[in-house]
Amino acid sequence: MEKEVTIYDIARIMSLSAATVSRALNNHPAINIKTRNAVTAKANELGYRSNTFASSLRRKSTKALGVIVPRLNSHFMSSVLAGMETVANKAGYNLLISQSLESVHHEKGNTRAMYNSRVDGLMVSVAYDTETFEHFDNFLKKGVPVLFFDRTIEVPGFPGIVIDNEKGGYDATMHLISQGCRKIMHVAGNLARNVYRGRYDGYRKALAEKGLEFAESLLIINDLSPESGGAVADYIDKMENKPDGIFLANDICAIGCMKALKQKSFAIPGDIAIAGFNNDPVSEVIEPNLTTINYPGRQMGEWAVSAMISHLNGSKPFDATQTMVLRSELLIRDPSLRNQI
Query: pLDDT tens digits for 10-45?
Result: 999 999 998 899 889 888 888 999 999 999 999 888
State the Cα–Cα distance between residues 92 and 159, nearest whole angstrom: 23
Listed as own residue / partner, the contacts of 132-138 with beta carbons closer than 8 Å and 24 or more positions apart are: 132/104, 133/158, 135/107, 135/108, 135/111, 136/111
Task: Supply the pLDDT for residue 1.
Answer: 46
Q: Which domains does the chain have, with CATH numbers?
A: 7-50 (1.10.260.40), 63-163+297-326 (3.40.50.2300), 165-295+330-340 (3.40.50.2300)
Model confidence at 159, pLDDT cuts 50, 70, 90, reads confident
The DSSP symbol for 30 reads T
pTM over 0.75: yes
273, β-bridge pairs: 245
Model confidence at 116, pLDDT cuts 50, 70, 90, reads confident
Percent residues over pLDDT 70 in the chain? 94
State the Cα–Cα distance between residues 87 and 81, nearest whole angstrom: 10
State the Cα–Cα distance between residues 117 and 283, nearest whole angstrom: 38
C-alpha closest to that of 288 among 275, 297, 277, 305: 275
Q: By the 8 A CB rule, do 296 and 154 touch?
A: no
